[in-house]
Structure 1
Amino acid sequence: MGDEFGQGVDSDDGDNYENDIDIITENQIKKEKSDYEHSDANDDNIRITSPYLTKYEKARIIGTRALQISLNAPLTIPIETQGGGDVSNGKNEYDNYLNNDPLVIAEKELHNKSIPFILRRYLPNGSYEDWKLDELIID
């Protein structure tokens, strides 16, 4: 008798978005194109999806890039270092932490559009679109 209340409820409704995008590098694209030629929605002239970077894509890009930075990947922007200051004062120590935080660095790289990622958006028909980050509008 109480079964009608439990029907139609999925506990992972928000988790399906992760499968809609991939973050790939330019080297992976070159390898794929050399392996086979594909005729998906990859034409540069024809774009179906929005040119705006969504908050989900932004979070995934920043997280992926921050992980790379924390594993000593080369940076694409210069970092301002606070050198020679008085360390007894907590402000300089906090500023140094913020300048070296991988999440902050990844956000700065994203806003400079210097992250070497390509965003692959999958479409409902099984094809996909590849967008370089410098082509997307970032809020």
Structure 2
Amino acid sequence: MYRGSGLDSQVQPNRSPPSLAPRLTLPLAPQAPQSRRPRRAAAMADDDYNDMDMGYEDEPPEPEIEEGAEEELENNNEDAPDDVVGAEVEDKEQEKKARERKTSKYMTKYERARILGTRALQISMNAPVMVELEGETDPLEIAMKELRARKIPFTIRRYLPDGSYEDWGVDELIVEDSWKRQVGGD
């Protein structure tokens, strides 16, 4: 080590015989003394974020809108009748999509278990009950009563092998007869 030259922290090569020395060579040129402050390569300290403008470098300036132009934009309702016609077309498309389902219309026992468990948990956490109570206090019994009445406000998402999915409302699915007996149906 070189004393007094400011290179105390630099790694020095091994002075062993040449046959045992590693083939790694390190630079021996003197370097400027390093500051006590750590180098910032990619990350910045939290203090540095306060001084920076967080916007994009090439962000275009916002256009200035005159006062009269704002009123024109607010009062421009020419597209309103077209939106109503477009909404009717979208409703028809949604009905077609609802009919083109690939999965079964029957609720599986796993879906039923999850729906009842989740809804019972919600009811136990003071969620509003969707049916008239006749003395029931058990959250699971209340959830079963809601399922019987098809009033549980859940949507079941069934994933398909191609990555797509189908959304079914609980009121759209058929609860099988053996389950109806368990739930208390007719």
Q: Structure 1: where are the runs of 5+ without partners?
A: 1-41, 82-98
What corresponds to 2:117 in structure 1? 63
Identical residues among aligned pairs (%): 60
- Give the RMSD, CA atoms, in angstroms: 1.2
- Equivalent-residue separation in structure 2 for 1:72 and 1:58 (angstroms): 21
More helix per residue: 1 or 2?
A: 1
Find 2:132's aligned residue among 74, 78, 85: 78
Normalising by structure 2, report the TM-score.
0.42
Count of residues in Structure 1 that have an aligned counterpart in Structure 2:
81
- State the Cα distance separating 1:134 from its structure 2 match: 1.1
Q: Which residue of 1 aligns with 2:48?
A: none
Q: Using the alignment, how far apart are the partners of 1:135 and 1:55 within structure 2?
A: 16
Indicate the structure (1 or 2) with the bigger Cα radius of gyration: 2
- Distance in structure 2 (CA, Å) of the matches to 1:120 and 1:113: 17
| Residue ranges of structure 2 left out of the alignment (5+ in a row) | 1-95, 177-186
Mapped partners of 2:150, 2:175: distance in 1: 9
The residue type paired with residue 124 of structure 1 is P
2:179 corresponds to 1:137:
no
**Quick check: which one's strand share is greater?**
1
TM-superposed CA distance for 1:54, in Å, is 0.4
Q: Give 2:102's match in structure 1, choosing from 45, 48, 55.
A: 48
TM-score (norm 1): 0.57
Distance between the aligned counterparts of 1:121 and 1:65, measured in 2? 18
Q: Find the partner of 2:141 among 97, 104, 109.
A: 104
> 2:154 maps to which residue?
117
| Structure 1 residue ranges, 4+ long, deviating more than 3 angstroms after superposition | none
